[in-house]
Amino acid sequence: MTRSAGSYCGRFAPSPTGPLHFGSLLAALASYLDARAHGGRWLLRVEDIDPPREQAGASRAIIDSLRAHRLHWDGPVCYQHTRSGAYDEALEALERKGLLRRCYCPRRVLGPDGACGGRCGGEGEGPAALRVRVDPAWPTAFEDRFQGPVAATALPEDFVVRRRDGLYAYQLAVVVDDHAQGITDVVRGADLLSVTPRQRYLQACLGYRSPRYAHCPVLLGSDGRKLSKQNHAPPLDDGCAGANLRRALELLAQPPAPATAATPSALLEHAVRHWAPAALAGKAALPGDRLYPPPGIS
């Protein structure tokens, strides 16, 4: 599928569980460059629908970091905590189609991948989670722009779209918001490749068109695990924006910018003109050794 100039719409959608780290910058940069190289729009969405996991002030810190690195987005920031009405409408649509069922199982009794498998029979007391009924014959294989053909895989037989505590599940919220914002291309970390079939299934259930997906490599820490806020990845040093961008472009195997590109804006301008997504083909992870620039280099 090809996109005409100006029809592309991408997005960066961080969760405010902490400030941006270098792995976050890598994903944001790949998404930004792909959108701008296609002459498209690039939106910012803060996925703040899980208050127990969120960190006070993280949304502002994320926005400040993006601005410091000159990763400017189009239009206003979308905050998911304002979108409950849209999520409820989607749940009602699934209910009308007979695709929802209630689950009263506590987490400790659930099977692999959080599946209920009919353990509770849809009966119980107290609050219930809402799960979407999955058609096991639905085709899950798809083509990823960076990772190539993704083989068919079995979906969880019933995955959660609203939790027992009343919070909306990520799978539902991301699908509803990508549709509402007109997202045509999703560029994000390869750690989310495995949940993409669930999102594509929900899109089909709701009658939405699926965007194109491109999963860029995730950055690994020295312990071999994905660099993440949960693994205590250090926050970006916004005072070293230029050095951060140069290192991120190097990790993404992009053509090096000349020394005359001395500011973040100049670096990004060069990177957009020379964006080479083919360099990411088949790469799911990158070692994070020698990751951060020496202090004081900008």
Residue 38 lies in a domain: yes
Q: 226 with 218: CB under 8 angstroms?
A: yes
pLDDT in tens, 107-148: 777 766 677 766 666 666 778 999 999 999 999 999 999 999
CA dist 12 and 10 (Å) reads: 7
Residue 244: band (very low, low, confident or very high) from pLDDT cuts 50, 70, 90: very high
Query: Whose CA is closest to 78, among 27, 29, 9?
Result: 9
The encoded tokens of residue 200 equal: 């594509």
Residue 64 lies in a domain: yes
Of 47, 106, 110, residue with least CA distance to 80: 47
Answer yes or no: are the C-beta atoms of 246 and 255 closer than 8 Å: no
HSE-CB at 38 with a 13 A cutoff on CA atoms is 21
Token pair in block for residue 155: 């979906």
Structural domain total, the chain: 1
Would the pTM count as exceeding 0.85? yes
Report how far apart the first and last C-alpha atoms of the chain are (Å, whole number): 39
Q: What average pLDDT does the chain have?
A: 90
DSSP state of 293: P
pLDDT digits (tens, 9 = 90+) for 223-235: 667 766 665 578 8
The more confidently predicted of residues 13 and 226 is 13
Residue 154 has pLDDT above 80, yes or no: yes
Whether the per-residue pLDDT at 3 is higher than 90: the answer is no
User: Domain span at residue 228?
Assistant: 9-81+220-287
Please state the rounded mean pLDDT for residues 179-186.
98
* Residue 274, domain member (yes or no): yes
Whether residue 262 has pLDDT greater than 70: yes
Q: Which amino acid is at 152?
A: A
77: domain CATH number is 3.40.50.620
* Residue 219 pLDDT greater than 70, yes or no: yes
Report whether pLDDT(19) > 80. Answer: yes
Contact between 143 and 172 under an 8 Å Cβ cutoff? The reply is: no
Residue 143 belongs to some domain of the structure = no
**Per the domain annotation, does 211 fall within a domain?**
no
pLDDT of the residue at 103: 87
**Dist. CA 157–CA 111, nearest whole Å:** 10
Question: Is residue 141 in a domain?
Answer: no
pLDDT per position as a tens digit, 61-104: 999 999 999 999 999 999 999 999 999 999 999 999 999 999 88
Q: Is residue 140 a part of any domain in this protein?
A: no
Is a pLDDT exceeding 80 seen at residue 199? yes
Is there a domain that residue 131 lies in? no
